[in-house]
Structure 1
Amino acid sequence: MGLSQSKRSIGTDCGRLEEWMTLLRKDIREHVPIIHLAIPGSHNSMTFKITRKSKLAPDAEKVVQRVYKCLPWFIAKWAKTQSYTTTDQLKFGIRFFDLRISQKETTDIEDRYYIVHGLFSTPMESEMREIKTFLDQHPGELVILDFQHFYEISCDDHDIIHTFLTNLFGDKILTMNDGPLTELTLDKAYKLRKQLLIVYRSAYNSIYYWPGAYFPTPWPNTAKLKVLKEFLVKSLQNRSMDYGWITQCVLTPDSKYIVLRPRSNLELTAKKVWNYLDDWIKAQTPGSLDNGSTECVNILIADFVNIKNSSFISTVVDLNNKIPYQDAPAERIQKDSKIYPDKEKLLNGIIEEYLPY
């Protein structure tokens, strides 16, 4: 059986976004695989705890290590990529988390593995528990964890991480045994009572996780806005619709970029990216190529997803309104702006059965 089809009001953006997957049209939940949805994600997702007092992490480049010795505060403002906590990101609609994991010397085994980005941020385990709590409270939502990079992680460490994740999330984990991505819809996941898909980009993988090849994530690696946009457009044209696809809406500041902007930081840079890509993102289309588009987005990630009242998140979520009705009557009325339809404009309840769950 599907989710209860109770009538929900949009309320605030946070309230709407907190359950945006649950509130998608019924036909989308039933027939559109998650790799054909527009899903908002965060880049270097859990770096919100990085401060000027944070310790240097193993992924820090040599130039960062040298500068850190004299100006740790300067490194911090270019290492922190998010302000929202994990729970806040979930409540505001983020469903994809980009993670870098490193071991940290500690006597507390629960704090052994940390989220890093040049500096140590927060223990991995505590953030995973927050995600578990959110999923327990939101049975219609699905989250993708992308373990992107590992630093100073041995085979034994991978075993420990695998065991922790498996014990914590248990039967919530969607595995490759649950079928191909082209058949993995939100409704199917709900019926299986599974809510988590783990991408594990390591040769030391697990049968429970998906290899990175199933979710390509082309890295723009540029500090120039024009080059970034050109890269995103071109890379989407090479996308396979049988796999997921991560569009990185981020700049990568190099030494020259940073030196020329001594008063700037990564958040100000993220604002420039959003202002530049805003219209481009709004023009994108999810779904399959059957809808007439030459390329279709899937997962879009950004730095500082809190910018402008989380406009990036709501913009990406609302792209799902462009998905054509699936197996719907020809006379169906198309709605145009928000996920939740304006019932006053419906004719005689013709799409009552397609109201959000």
Structure 2
Amino acid sequence: MLICGGSHNSFTYALKSKWHVAVDQGRWIRRIDCPWVRKTICRWATCQNIDVMRQLMIGVRFFDVRVAIHHPTSNSTISDDFYAVHGLYGERMIDAFRQIVSFLKAHPDELVILDINHFYNFSISDHARLLHVIASSFDSMLCPSGNNLHLDDVTLDMLRQSHRQAIVFYQAEQRTALDTLNVTWPRRFIVSPWANTNSLTKLFAFLERTLAVRDQLLPEGGVFVVQSILTPHAVDVVLHLRSSLQQRIALNTTEQTVKWLRAGQRESVWPFTAAVVLVDFVNFPDFCRTVVNMNLL
């Protein structure tokens, strides 16, 4: 069994409220773009408050990423590049990759998993460029996929012996045609059910239901992601405009997740070969420690 801690919207610690609203937002939000709107989005779209290196140092080994390509206008100060995105533009992807590579070089026995699962404003050539950035950034650290290889066949011992330290999921249809070297893994080897609720009771009921049918959701094996997050509804934001995701929802959710994990640990409901527990604000006390300790049973 391998259970690791993951950060939801991992690279949102650097959302830029001075830049315009990102392309992942609806047209009406982008039409009312102004400093006040951007600051509100920033408070409610920030899901992490420590950078990649600090996340790694406290024990996070799974990164959940949405990415957008920004094509600047003539008067824009933003370069044409890949950025993490969640309402606003965040960390530049190449900078996040560099932090991960730096950590892996310093810790040759560690493994990191990246799940790149949303792509905004992408053309075919943009997908090709991002795949090249991934390949060139991680180089021989990448664990390649293959036509007849299942992720459950890959063991930690195999990875360490071959000096492979990074598994990257690239959840875009274009991957099949463009990733000819199989440096990334396809979406069929990962599943990440989303409760889409702002209720803790409904969240944990949903997580327990999906855990019970894990093998049906992942018939070929792979990584099962437990998204222990609440999603604010529009009314939550409107009624608490001056508050934030962290204050109103996320910290309590992560605290309750730690309690839920400990209860499940006692009841032995984690019989899986590979699972990720995904939360907002991973630096909440005891989250990473609790997940790490689950592997010691």
Taking structure 1 as the reference length, the TM-score comes to 0.73
Q: Secondary structure at the match of 1:251?
A: coil
Partner residue in 1 for 2:61:
95
8 Å contact from structure 1 (residues 54, 76) kept in 2:
no
8 Å contact from structure 2 (residues 20, 33) kept in 1:
no
Tell me which structure has the larger Cα radius of gyration.
Answer: 1
| More strand as a share of residues | 2
Amino acid at match of 1:252: T
Structure 1 residue runs of 5 or longer lacking an equivalent are: 1-35, 323-357
Please show how residues 144-155 of structure 1 align to structure 2 within 5 Å. Answer: 144-155=113-124
Tell me, yes or no, if structure 1 residue 305 matches structure 2 residue 271: no
Partner residue in 2 for 1:283:
263
Amino acid at match of 2:37: L
Q: Secondary structure at the match of 1:300?
A: strand
* Cα distance between partner residues in 2 of 1:157 and 1:133: 25
Partner residue in 1 for 2:86:
117
* Cα distance between partner residues in 2 of 1:280 and 1:62: 38
Partner residue in 1 for 2:21:
56
Amino acid at match of 2:191: P
Tell me, yes or no, if structure 1 residue 266 matches structure 2 residue 267: no
Partner residue in 1 for 2:39:
73
* Cα distance between partner residues in 2 of 1:162 and 1:130: 18
Partner residue in 2 for 1:13:
none
8 Å contact from structure 1 (residues 44, 81) kept in 2:
yes
Partner residue in 1 for 2:100:
131
Cα distance, 1:108 vs structure 2: 9.7
Cα distance, 1:53 vs structure 2: 2.0
8 Å contact from structure 1 (residues 68, 74) kept in 2:
no
Taking structure 2 as the reference length, the TM-score comes to 0.87
Identity of aligned residues (%): 32
Structure 2 residue runs of 5 or longer lacking an equivalent are: none
* Cα distance between partner residues in 2 of 1:294 and 1:143: 21
* Cα distance between partner residues in 1 of 2:288 and 2:270: 23
Amino acid at match of 1:180: H
Partner residue in 2 for 1:86:
52
Equivalent residues, number: 281
Amino acid at match of 1:275: E
Q: Secondary structure at the match of 1:71?
A: helix
Amino acid at match of 2:93: M
* Cα distance between partner residues in 1 of 2:237 and 2:78: 37
* Cα distance between partner residues in 2 of 1:54 and 1:75: 12
8 Å contact from structure 1 (residues 64, 75) kept in 2:
no
Please show how residues 146-185 of structure 1 align to structure 2 within 5 Å. Answer: 146-177=115-146, 179-185=149-155
Cα distance, 1:211 vs structure 2: 1.0
* Cα distance between partner residues in 1 of 2:210 and 2:271: 9
Q: Secondary structure at the match of 1:157?
A: helix
* Cα distance between partner residues in 2 of 1:231 and 1:63: 32
1:110/1:140 CA distance change after superposition, 3 Å: farther
Q: Please identify, of 97-106 and 275-284, the stretch whose mean Cα deviation from structure 2 is larger.
A: 275-284
1:44/1:293 CA distance change after superposition, 3 Å: closer
Q: Secondary structure at the match of 2:223?
A: coil
* Cα distance between partner residues in 1 of 2:279 and 2:254: 8
| RMSD value, Cα | 2.4
